[in-house]
Amino acid sequence: MRFSNQVAIVTGAGSARGIGRSIALAFAKEGARVVVADVNLDGAKAVSEEIAQLGGKSLAVKLDVTSEEDVAAMVDQILAEFGRIDILVNNAGITQPIKVLDTTAEDWDRIMAVNLKGTFLCSRAVIPTMIKQQYGRIVNISSVSGKRGGGVFGGAHYSAAKAGVLGFAKALAREVAADGITVNSVAPGLIATDIRGGLEPEDVQKEMTKDIPVPRLGTPEEVAAAVLFLASPEAAYITGEEIDINGGSHMD
């Protein structure tokens, strides 16, 4: 029960097989009150229901991370309901497999907005509360694509956004460290979720992962474990850092 009495927001947590759902469930199992925030409210409610079945406490919120109004309304609602915000996990993200020459300016803006601007807007919105508390943990979900220059499924815009998340986290980490707030990131490799438009059949997964030292897709639970560590009180002296969760597909 590492997170008893803490309040954790997980954005993009309403996906039935997603990383955000696993993070939300893991926090709830360890005693946190979890804000399950997603642009898909039905999905968020379903995860909230799973948390209730575990005996946990949560709040399902409709949130578009690209909307300042939505983000502000969410923070107001959480403070009215729970009175504090200890953890923010910037997990909401979208990808698009596309070459630069085929990428429109609208594609670029959409990918940047959800993956990068959303991370900025949500972080900025919770920091005043975390400063008041003199305690906070922000964990961003970046990607191996942002570190190794492209992934299998993301375009260059996605790589740029996810690299931007890492740079933003480091700069923000310096700004807020003296207030007891850490800002870290995780960079997953290929994880078994629906982000690529549905989970691939087993033979396709085998082919996709044959060159990965740990030759399989990662699981959302494996990402959640690293996120919970960075969000824990024990990780107080780790900030501006990133953890790779990629089966060895990229090592640095």
Ligand X SMILES: NC(=O)c1ccc[n+]([C@@H]2O[C@H](COP(=O)([O-])OP(=O)(O)OC[C@H]3O[C@@H](n4cnc5c(N)ncnc54)[C@H](O)[C@@H]3O)[C@@H](O)[C@H]2O)c1
Cα radius of gyration rounded to whole Å, the chain: 17
Q: Can you say whether the dihedral through the CA atoms of 231, 237, 239, 243 is positive or negative?
A: negative
64 binds ligand X (CB under 6 A): yes
Give the angle subtended at the CA of 118 by the CAs of 115 and 123, to the nearest 5°. Answer: 120
Residues between 123 and 142 that touch ligand X (CB under 6 A): 141
C-beta of residue 224 within 8 angstroms of C-beta of residue 245: no
For residues 114 and 94, give the distance between their C-alpha atoms in angstroms, rounded to a whole number.
7
11 binds ligand X (CB under 6 A): yes
Catalytic residue flag (residue 158):
yes
Between residues 159 and 182, which has the closer beta carbon with respect to ligand X? Answer: 159
Please count the residues of this chain forming the interface with ligand X, following the rule CB under 6 A.
29
> C-beta of 178: minimal distance to ligand X in Å?
28
For residues 188 and 239, give the distance between their C-alpha atoms in angstroms, rounded to a whole number.
18
Choose the binding region for ligand X from 52-60, 63-71, 130-138, 202-210 (rule: CB under 6 A). Answer: 63-71
Binds ligand X by CB under 6 A, chosen from 65, 88, 169, 181: 65
Binds ligand X by CB under 6 A, chosen from 10, 36, 61, 63: 63
The closest of 111, 142, 138 to 125, measured between CA atoms, is 138
The sheet carrying 181-188 orders its strands as 57-62, 33-38, 7-11, 87-90, 136-141, 181-188, 242-245
155 binds ligand X (CB under 6 A): no
219 binds ligand X (CB under 6 A): no
Active site residues per annotation: 158
Interacting residues with ligand X (CB under 6 A)? 11-12, 14-15, 18-20, 38-40, 43, 63-66, 91-95, 114, 141, 143, 188, 190-191, 193-195
